[in-house]
Amino acid sequence: MQISVALVSLFSLLSLISADVVTRFKDVPECMEYFYRSGGRPPLMYHFSTLYDTHHRIAVYSAYHFQPSNGGGREKRWFVEPQLVNSSWQAGMKTGEKLGKDHPGVYQGERQALDEDYKNFGFDRGHLNPNGHHAVPNRSATFTLTNVVPQNAKLNRNVWRMYEAELANLFRDKCSKAYVLVGPLAHNWIGKSQTKRVNVPDYLWNAYCCVDNNGRPVQSGGGLARNTKKNLVKGHSLDGLGKFLKKFTNKPVGELF
């Protein structure tokens, strides 16, 4: 089963970050604002939307709007989604430690990856929706483990990071608004004690569409990288990227935007 996770920012005096879990994006109109369509209106609350595969404990993709960074550091903590443990629990990203104190003895990792899954396995926690594509305090919402995949450390810290920086420059210079999709193509596993826990991507892909002040597309493209130490990102058109993605599924890919 796949369920979608919509990350929400609730702006209070404490700038709390929260999340909602829904079974379909269309159930929450704010989620749909992260997918380009003519005449759309700006979102009121939601930072980004993630389609999350709870069986493989990895995101299918994240969809977001680019925001110019206003400085500030990285969040030092990693968060889990309480509603993926129990759908009746209150929405709100929490550290595993804090959630464990609120609900002693409850296993948190049945339907999502945990921080411990990434320890001592040689993979980075690779952001799909990068924190550098958001302003403070919104960027803290990207540090949920539903927004990361096991990423080769050399790729994550070198050319993929530079690719994200190049996109940020493009979006600032050329776009009134940029719509972005980022996802993995995953087949392998990492695990503990012979237990399958998290799928490891073979590839990471990115697609974007820039629009002007009237909501008309002005530029689009995408990138594709093998999740290896080869450390290479190849640029693609949206059509070319869509054709590549079709090789990995027996279901229609459709238009990316």
Residues 6+ apart with CB under 8 A from 49: 4, 5, 6, 7, 25, 31, 34, 35, 62, 63, 64
* Choice among 1-5, 86-90, 162-166 with the minimum mean pLDDT: 1-5
- Domain of 104 in residue numbering reads as 2-246
Please check whether residue 118 is in contact with residue 87, taking contact to mean a CB–CB distance below 8 angstroms: no
Residue 13 lies in a domain: yes
pLDDT digits (tens, 9 = 90+) for 125-143: 999 999 999 998 788 889 9
Asked if residue 256 is part of any domain, the answer here is no
53, β-bridge pairs: 2, 58
Higher pLDDT residue, 207 or 18? 207
**If DSSP codes are grouped into helix, strand and coil, which group holds residue 109?**
coil
Question: Is 122 part of any domain?
Answer: yes
In DSSP notation, 145-166 reads: GGGEEEEEHHHHHTHHHHHHHH
- Residue 200 within a domain: yes
How far is the C-alpha of 30 from the C-alpha of 45, rounded, in Å?
Answer: 7
Tokens linked to 73:
């550091």
**Strand ranges (E), 46-192:** 46-53, 58-65, 79-80, 94-95, 123-127, 148-152, 177-192
Q: Which CATH number characterizes residue 202's domain? A: 3.40.570.10
- At residue 209, the pLDDT reads 96
Work out the percent of the chain whose per-residue pLDDT is above 70.
Answer: 80
pLDDT reading at 250 higher than 50: yes
**Average pLDDT for 38-56:** 66
Question: From CA 54, how far away is CA 189, in angstroms rounded?
Answer: 14
Query: Strand 148-152 and strand 46-53: pairing?
Result: unpaired
By percentage, how much of the chain surpasses pLDDT 90? 62
Pairing of strands 234-236, 217-226: antiparallel
Separation of first and last alpha carbons in the chain: 24
Q: Which pLDDT does position 145 carry in this prediction? A: 95
Sorted by sequence, the CB contacts under 8 Å of residue 67 that are 6+ apart come out as 133, 134, 135, 138
| pLDDT band of 40, cuts 50, 70, 90 | very low
Asked whether the predicted pLDDT for residue 30 surpasses 60, the reply is no
Give yes or no for a contact between 221 and 238, defined as CB atoms under 8 angstroms apart: yes
**For residue range 169-220, what is the model confidence (pLDDT) as tens digits?**
999 999 999 999 999 998 788 887 778 899 999 999 999 999 999 999 999 9
CA-closest candidate to residue 182, choices 23, 21, 60: 60
Q: How many independent structural domains does the chain possess? A: 1
What average pLDDT does the segment 225-254 reach? 88
Mean pLDDT of 68-89: 90
Does a structural domain hold residue 253? no
Kindly state whether residue 254 falls inside one of the protein's structural domains.
Answer: no
pLDDT of residue 243: 92
Domain membership flag for residue 129:
yes
| Residues 154, 139: Cα–Cα separation, whole Å | 23
Residue 118 belongs to a domain: yes
Please return the burial class of 250, using the count of CB atoms within 10 Å of its CB with bins 0-12, 13-18 and 19+: exposed
Closest by CA to 74, choosing from 162, 116, 133, is: 133
Q: What is the pLDDT of residue 212?
A: 94
Phi, psi (degrees; rounded to nearest 5) at 217: -60, 135
pLDDT of residue 107: 96
